[in-house]
Every structure is written in C-alpha cells, then in structure tokens.
Homo-oligomer: A and B are copies of this chain.
Amino acid sequence: MSDTFIPRRDLAFLLYEVLTVESLFETDRYASHDHTVFEAVLDTAETIARDHFAPHAAVVDEQEPEFDGAEVRLIPDVKAALDSYVGAGLMGATFDIEIGGMQLPVVVGQACQAIFSAANISTTAYPFLTIGAGNLLAAFGSDEQKEKFLTPMVEGRFFGTMCLSEPQAGSSLTDISTRAEPTDDGYYRITGSKMWISGGDHTLSENIIHMVLAKIPGSPSGVKGISLFVVPKYRPENDGTVGENNNIVLAGLNHKMGYRGTVNALLNFGESGETQGFLVGEPHQGLTYMFHMMNEARIGVGLGAVALGYAGYSASLAYAKERPQGRHPDDNAPDNQPVMIVEHADVRRLLISQKVAVEGALALVLYCARLVDEKKTAKSDAEKKRLSLLLDILTPITKSWPSEFCLEANKHAIQVLGGYGYTRDYPVERLYRDNRLNLIHEGTHGIHGLDLLGRKVVMENGAAFDALQNEMRSTIASAAAEASLQHYAAALATAIDRINDVTHKLVAAREENIRQALADATLYLDTLGHLVIAWMWLKQALSATEAKPDAQGDDIEFYAGKLAACQFFFRRELPKLHSNADLLSVMDDTALTISTDAL
C-alpha cells in the first residue's frame, strides 16, 4: 500500500498484546468472533485501502468536488472505492447482526478505519459519517426509522451526515436557529441552514440521511430546546425505494485547505419547498442524544488525526532510509560517500518524535475504542458507570491530543523530505493540510479544553478523574514490578500527583474568578494529554518487556523500538508536563486582561 500506511505489526501489538482484545470473545456480544475473523477483516481492509483508496488520494485532492448546478461531481474513483468498501460489508462492521451488521468490536472497526484513513482520509470520511449517523439511529431511532433509514445505511445504500453547525453558530449550539414545525402528518417541517456539512450532497449513494439538530417552536431557549431529526435527501417510499426530493438545497460547497475530496456544504432546508424531518426519540433531547454518541465520533476524529500522522511517519521513514545525502560530523571528507539521511541525528530526532506521537496516540484511540466495547458488554451497572466515566474524561483528550501532536508529526514528516516534502509529488504535504482540520471540527481544541477542565474533571466530585487515575495507577503497579520500568512507573506517579495539585488549584480558583480559572483550559488539555500518552507508553513498554525474552526475527527490533520510544517520551516529552504545570499554576492573566485595543 503506497508509502502511507499503518503497519499491521503495530496494530497486532496494540490489539492483541497491549489491549488483549481477544478477551472480548468471552462476552456474549462478541462470542461468535475469533482471532481469524479479526485478521481476515483487517486483511480485507488493507487490500481495499491499498487497491481502491490510496491510488486516488492525491488525485481527489487536486480535483476536488464541483457543483455543476445540478449535482456535485466527484472523480469516479471515489464511488468505485466506496463500492468496494460497501461490497465487503465494512459499512456494517460494528453494527448489530440483527440489523444486518457484522457486530465486530468497535476497536476492530476503528483499526480498519485507521487503515483506510491513512490511505485516503477524504474518501474514508463518507463511511465515517454514515457510521456515526447510523449509530445515532441505532441508539435512539424508532423501529420504523431504523427500518427505513438505518438498514439501508448498514447496507451501504444510503449515506449519512451530522448537521449541527450553522453559519452563525459553529461552536455555539445554543444559538442554532433551524426550526422544526410539527404537522398533523407525523413529520416536522424543517427550515434553516446548516454549515460545514461533510458529505452534505453527492451522488455516491442512493440517498443521504441527515441527522439534524433543530428547535421546535416554543422550546426552551438554548441547548435545552434542541431536538434531533432524521431528514432524508429523498423521502423513502414504504417499499424502501427512494421517493421524491425532500427540498434540501445545496447552497454552496466549501473549498478547504485539505480533506479536499470530502464534499463540505452549506445546505438550506425548506427553502424551495417542504423539507420533511422525523423526530428522533423525545423532543428537547437532541443534544443529549448527540453527546451520547459523540464519544465514538470523537474517538474517530482522534483516530483520523493519528492515521494522518502515522501515514506521514511511514512515508518519511521510508524516504529517509533511501535518500543519500550529507556525512557525519566526524567523518565528513568530501570524497566519502554520503550516508542515508536516516543516519543524521536531526533526521532521527524528527523520526522518533513522530514515532512517539503516532504510536502513543494510536494506543490511546484504540484503548478508548476498547472501552466502548467493554461498556457494551459490561456485566454490572457499576462497571458500566466506571467505563462511562473513563470515556467521558478521555474523549476530549483522545480527540485533541492527536489533532495537535500528530499534526506536529506531519510537520516533521515534511521536514525529513526537505524541498521534496513541500511538493505535491509526495504525500506528506497533503497529510499536513488534511490534519490541520482535526483541531477544528467535532469541537475545536479550545472547546475541548473547556469541556475537560470546566466539566469532565469536576463532574460527580471528580469521579471521572478518579477513575482515570485508578487505571493509571494499576499500570504503574504492574510496571513497578519490572526492574527496567521502575523509573518510568515512578515518573508517571509523580506526574499524576503534579497534575492533581494543579487541577485542585484550578478548580478551587473557579470560586473566585471562573474566567481566569478556565483561561488556560487548552494548555491544561495538552498537559493532561501528555500524562495520558505517557501512560500509554508505559503500557506499551510493559507489553514489550513481557514479550521481549521470547521475541524472534523482526520482533526483536520491534520491541526494542517500543522500549526506545517509551524512553524518548519519558525523557523528552514528559518534562513538558512539569513546565506546563508551572505555567498553569501561575494563572497568568496577561491574555485575559490586555485591552482589546492593545492587541
């Protein structure tokens, strides 16, 4: 698969050795699967990604979707790729068997998505959105809605979207103004505009199912008055065929820096005729429903950021091994042969910096996906509660840390290739452009900081934060039993204590001045992220340490690489947690108090 890929060895290490996903076979939900099934699905994903997704990644970036006045035109490769994806049953990978899915664990579904995203994130966005919209219907839709809309989505005949933002309301859902007026015929009349709708219009599928947030007249103001509607592009007939146009008008395509193969649209509802929407669940519960499913979607965004970072790492590592140039400072006679650039200290730094970011972040997103599976199969309410809390506090980090630090990895990938990396002849510049989106969509970096510091760490008297710390301390206890890992275990314990101190200080400061106490929420987000990624590296180092004595062949270097990467993260990255903690403790008010006219 070209040079942008996620190595199967690393996926296998994370799935089977670190996350021991095979224990899921012991649950009722996943009892019908086994190791062979997982590997067969990953093989299929890899084959389709290599043969159908990767080849047009650069092409669709150059030839982005166009609206010709009648319909949105995409290069045919996109539909061909998605047809392969659908044909292999992958759209239904994680959906329940009873609605036509394969009922695979979410962690395996995410591993597949990582393979596709690394190959071509723009084309992967269509199934990503369809699965997200489908999950909403699966959780909250009526039986009739599931039959009419969800089943064809699982079959890959209909695609889906999420319609939250509006031109005047991106981060602030409080201010959405799309309206849903009840009629006597069982549907609502939807009017308004939705912005930034990925997959908002195209002819890749028979129908497009929009999950739309809107307000029913007379609802409470703000987010408490938001309801969720399913709004199809074409109204489905009772026999399942696609019926009349539902009057959703494409008002314009957004032309973006990256993700250029993914249609992104401004849609007008109910402007040119009646747009029918169908209430999902109860009125005024729209945001609650959306948040319920957000965890999975946000893990997916984090995963996309990781995949783009990983693709850049793979591409730059391959390049560095094959590109001769320059000599070592102690062996630089001009008549000597140049060395491969992978030998230069600074190139090695750029490579290992990418490695710790992308492998650390991949561990985190798959860990969170596994939590989703555990929650689906939890045997007690207490266990389910614990898993919910863990997901609540980890979700902003899992979405955000990869978006920030795997983007930085993509920057490094370009640097390894030098001038070539800056050209569109190599994938690394595209990956960097694509990844810049991930700090913005599905909640901006700043919004997730506020979510983490303003809500998640304080919720239920810090219960989510406690649950996370318990998990980390359990890893620390295991690592402390391995002589070679004791100093990492101790360093992580110290870091947890430090974050605890800072968190208490910031939470206490809310009483006096909440604006100041939350002003550095983004820095807090990045810092807690570093703690979590350090933990992920300790988990990986534990697995590598256990497996190393029996390693054979390539595995010897593989495990050595994991241990070196853990060492690099603890030596070079974890110290930033402490300097950030210093900054956070100061609660500097310069940014908050500088007059706007002085900016």
Residues on A lying within 8 angstroms of B by beta carbon are 165, 168-172, 174-175, 195-196, 221-223, 254-258, 317, 321, 324-330, 332-335, 338, 342-352, 355, 411, 414-415, 418-419, 421-425, 429, 432-433, 436-437, 439-441, 444-446, 449-450, 454, 514-516, 518-522, 554, 557-558, 560-561, 564-565, 567-568, 571-572, 575-576, 578-579, 582-583, 586, 588, 590-599
Contacts and interface: CB of A to CB of B under 8 A. Distances in A.
Copy number of this protein in the oligomer? 2
17 contacts: A168-B324, A168-B325, A170-B325, A175-B338, A257-B422, A257-B429, A329-B514, A329-B518, A345-B516, A345-B592, A352-B591, A414-B436, A433-B433, A558-B598, A561-B598, A568-B591, A575-B583
A522 B353 CA distance: 13
Contact of A454 (B169, B223, B329, B596): B329
A572 B590 CA distance: 10
A237 to B, nearest CB: 36
B598 A571 contact: no
Contacts of A348: 591-592, 594, 599
Contacts of A586: 571
Contacts of A518: 329, 345
B334 A223 contact: yes
Nearest to A345: B519
B334 A174 contact: yes
A588 B575 contact: no
A333 B330 CA distance: 66
A170 B419 contact: yes
A348 B338 CA distance: 48
A429 B434 CA distance: 12
B425 A255 contact: yes
Given A171-B418, A415-B446, A572-B583, 18 more contacts: A169-B325, A172-B338, A175-B338, A255-B424, A256-B423, A257-B429, A258-B422, A329-B450, A329-B514, A344-B446, A349-B519, A349-B520, A349-B591, A350-B446, A352-B590, A414-B440, A421-B440, A557-B598
B257 A423 contact: yes
B567 A355 contact: no
Nearest to A516: B345
Given A352-B599, A423-B255, A449-B346, A171 B326 contact: yes
Nearest to A522: B346
Contacts of A565: 594
Given A449-B346, A599-B355, A514 B330 contact: yes
A256 B422 contact: yes
A595 B564 CA distance: 9
Nearest to A342: B596
Nearest to A593: B564
B520 A424 contact: no
A210 B446 CA distance: 48
B255 A560 contact: no
A425 B419 CA distance: 27
B419 A594 contact: no
A538 to B, nearest CB: 16
Nearest to A337: B175
Nearest to A598: B561
A163 B8 CA distance: 43
A595 B558 CA distance: 10
B347 A424 contact: no
A446 to B, nearest CB: 4
A348 to B, nearest CB: 4
Given A345-B518, A583-B575, A411 B436 contact: yes
Contacts of A175: 325, 334, 338
Given A170-B325, A317-B599, A325-B170, A415 B575 contact: no
B571 A575 contact: no
A429 B256 CA distance: 9
B328 A515 contact: yes
A423 B254 contact: yes
B590 A564 contact: yes
Top 9 closest A-B pairs, CB basis? A222-B334, A561-B598, A346-B446, A345-B519, A579-B579, A257-B429, A564-B594, A557-B597, A348-B591
A596 B352 CA distance: 10
Contact of A560 (B433, B561, B595): B595
A346 B400 CA distance: 15
Contact of A346 (B328, B521, B567, B575): B521
A324 B588 CA distance: 25
